[in-house]
Each structure stands twice: as structure tokens, then as C-alpha cells.
Amino acid sequence: MNRLNTIKGLFKSSILMIAVLSITTSLQIETAKAQEVTFTPGVDYYSTYIFRGIAFSGPSIQPYVEFESGSFTFGGWGSQGFDGFQEMDLYASYAFDFGLSIGFTDYYYPGSDYFSGDSHAFEINTGFETGGLSLSGNMVLNEAADAGSVGGDLYFEAGFSVGPADLFFGAGDGWHSSNGDFAFVNIGLGASKEITITDSFSIPLSGALILNPDTEQFYIVVGVSL
């Protein structure tokens, strides 16, 4: 067994252990007290849609709808590019008080039959945050031709907050890289600020410089959120 298969095996085992702990802990917490459900709609506008170092489309409108109850979150997120590209995802996650989170994402691309298994990529997501450090690990569970996934694809990312800037380093295999081998695909520097419109209203503005060493592509992205 090569090193990559070993990593995948350990990652799968870790996911199962975390899932069991998540379910057990969440049942204990959520049954102990009723949680208020909050509903949050919103929309972002980005100059380019970049996901894990890959450009999916140019200028895009990205709406989302999110429900939250205690530590549980469920939502839908989409991207509509002016060039015609579309993506519509559903996701769910549970966050622990000590910084660990585990979730599930369903990636879907309109134009393909929604009830066809090949039209979706299902991914397990894990993350951990403490102070200015964030770590995440993701694994696609199935083969999905329309979603560009071959199943078992991995992606890991580390982020660091340094003053007003955020540094991030991401690496993955499968559809994330040009030849399917594990490679650094997403290295960047981001920042954000608030544009004051009135005393009670401001618009969040974010931007990032992104380099994909694997494909040798460089992007400058700016977005606003409403």
C-alpha cells in the first residue's frame, strides 16, 4: 500500500470516529435544551469564481440560504456565472465548542439530471479552528462524472491569520490537480474590509491573490457581500 492510500485509509477511519462522536455528543447536547432556529439569506458578488485554486467561471452571483440551530447548520449555496456556468450545493455541519467541525456537502451542477447519481459529488468535510489557525480536510465519497470527481479525492488546507491578512495553503489530488496526483493547488493571501455607506449600514468587501502552482495560474479576486 502506497503512502497516499495509507493517508486515505487513515482519513476514512478518522471520519468514521468523528462522525460517531458527533452524533453521540450532538444528541446529548440538543436534547438537553431546545435551540432557536435562525434563518439567514444572502448573496455575494465575485469578480471570478475560484474554488480550491481552480477557476470555474468569471464574474458570478452567489446566493445562499442558511438555517442554524445551536451547533447544527444546514444550507444551500449556489453560483451563477455571467458566462452561463451554474453550481448549486447543499450542505450540513455540526460544530463543537472546542473548534472541531464535521460536515457533508452535495455538489450539483444544473444542466444534468438532478436525480442521477452521476450528477452529484458527495463530500465529507472536517475542520478545526483555534486562534488564528484553521485546518480542514475533505474527501469525495463517490464517482461523479458531471462533477469532475473520481471518488476518494482528497483536499487539505491550512490557513493563518496574520494581522489584517489571511494566508492559506491547499493541496489535493484527483480532480484538484492537473494529472490526478497529490499537489499544491491553492496558495494565497486574502484580506477584507467594511465599506461604510451610512452610520448603520456597511458592505463587506473581500479580496485575494491566488496562485495555483500545479497549473501555473494566478488570479486576483474581489467580492462584495449583501
Q: Mark the ranges of the chain whose per-residue pLDDT is less than 70.
A: 1-35
Report the pLDDT value the prediction gives residue 35, as an integer from 0 to 100: 66
3-class SS letters over 143-186: EECCCCEECCCEEEEEEEEECCEEEEEEEECHHHCCCCCCEEEE
Report the pLDDT value the prediction gives residue 1, as an integer from 0 to 100: 47
Taking only the tens place, the pLDDT of each residue in 29-39 is 554 445 689 99
Report the pLDDT value the prediction gives residue 140, as an integer from 0 to 100: 95
Quote the CA–CA distance of 78 and 90 in Å, as a whole number: 9
The DSSP letter of residue 48 is S
The DSSP letter of residue 226 is -
Report the pLDDT value the prediction gives residue 86, as an integer from 0 to 100: 96
Q: 139-173: b or e for each residue (b if 16 or more CB lie within 10 Å)? A: bbbeebebbbbbebbbbbbebeeeeeebebebbbb
Report the pLDDT value the prediction gives residue 21, as an integer from 0 to 100: 52
Report the pLDDT value the prediction gives residue 215, as an integer from 0 to 100: 97
Report the pLDDT value the prediction gives residue 18, as an integer from 0 to 100: 53
Report the pLDDT value the prediction gives residue 22, as an integer from 0 to 100: 53
Task: Give whole-number Cα distances, 34 to 29, 67, 147, in Å.
Answer: 9, 15, 38
Taking only the tens place, the pLDDT of each residue in 17-26 is 555 455 555 5
Task: Give whole-number Cα distances, 195 to 116, 177, 200, 208, in Å.
Answer: 43, 36, 11, 17
What three-state secondary structure class fits 18? helix
Report the pLDDT value the prediction gives residue 3, as an integer from 0 to 100: 47
Q: Which of 137, 150, 221, 142 is nearest to 181 (CA)?
A: 150
